[in-house]
Amino acid sequence: MTANVVFAGLIGVLFASGVYLMLSRNLIRVLLGFLLIGHGANLLLLSAGRSGSAPIVGEDGVSADPIPQALVLTSIVITFAISCFLLAMIYRNYQLTRKNEVPDDPDDIAVDEMSGGGDE
């Protein structure tokens, strides 16, 4: 259970850059940010277990904890599936608007109109 500084630093960098990218309105940046954060979270999950040799019954020495590895496989698949969905959605958004950005919210437009022209 020794904390690995390289791991911790790497996870921190992945999360930080992922958050930075996800704060953008550009959907491609959001996707890239999600990929980085997703890897960060997966690494965090992986680092939760004990490290060691392959967890096979009969092997000598300290074996690695297999549960986080099983969990991380599941979560990699989930990350992959969601990235695919995001990509499809971004492409569809591009088809419809010719932009990579999230379009405006109708409420924002309504508030804008009300403050500007007195709509209601």
Partner 1 sequence: MTAATLLPLSVMMPLLGAALALLTSRRPKAQRAVAVGSLSIQFVFEIIMLLEVDANGPLVMHIGGWDSPVGITLVADRLSALMLVVSTLVTLAVLVYAIAQGHSDGESREAPVSVFHPAFLIMAAGVSNAFLAGDLFNLYVSFEILLTASYVLLTLGSTLERIRSGAPYVVISIVSSIIFLSGIGMIYAATGTLNMADLADRLQALPATLMVVLQSLLLIAFGVKAAIWPMSAWLPDSYPTASAPVTAVFAGLLTKVGIYAIIRTQTLLFPGGFQTLLMIIGLATMVIGILGAIAQNEIKRLLSFTLVSHIGYLVFGVAIGTQAGLAATVFYVAHHILVQTALFLATGLVEHITGTTRIDRLGGLAKTAPALAVLFFIPAMNLGGVPPFSGFLGKVGLVEAGIATGSVTAIVVVAGGALTSLLTLLAIVRVWGRAFWRPRPEVEDGDPRPEHRVGGTPQGRQGREGGRGRGHGEARATGAAPADDQQPARVRQGISTGADLRSMPVGMVGATLVVVAAGLALMIFGGVFYGYADRAADDLTGNVAYISAVLGSGR
Residues 23-82 touching partner 1, rule: CB under 8 A, are 27, 30, 34, 37-38, 41-42, 44-45, 47-49, 67-68, 71, 74-75, 78, 81-82
Could you tell me where the DSSP H helices lie in the chain?
5-22, 27-46, 66-97, 106-117
Residue 62 or 102 having the CB closest to partner 1:
102
How is residue 63 annotated by DSSP? B
Residue 53 or 87 having the CB closest to partner 1:
87
Of the candidate residues 2, 56, 61, 104, the single one contacting partner 1 (CB under 8 A): 104
Q: How far is CA 17 from the centre of its chain?
A: 11
The residues that bridge with 101 in the sheet, in sequence order, are 26
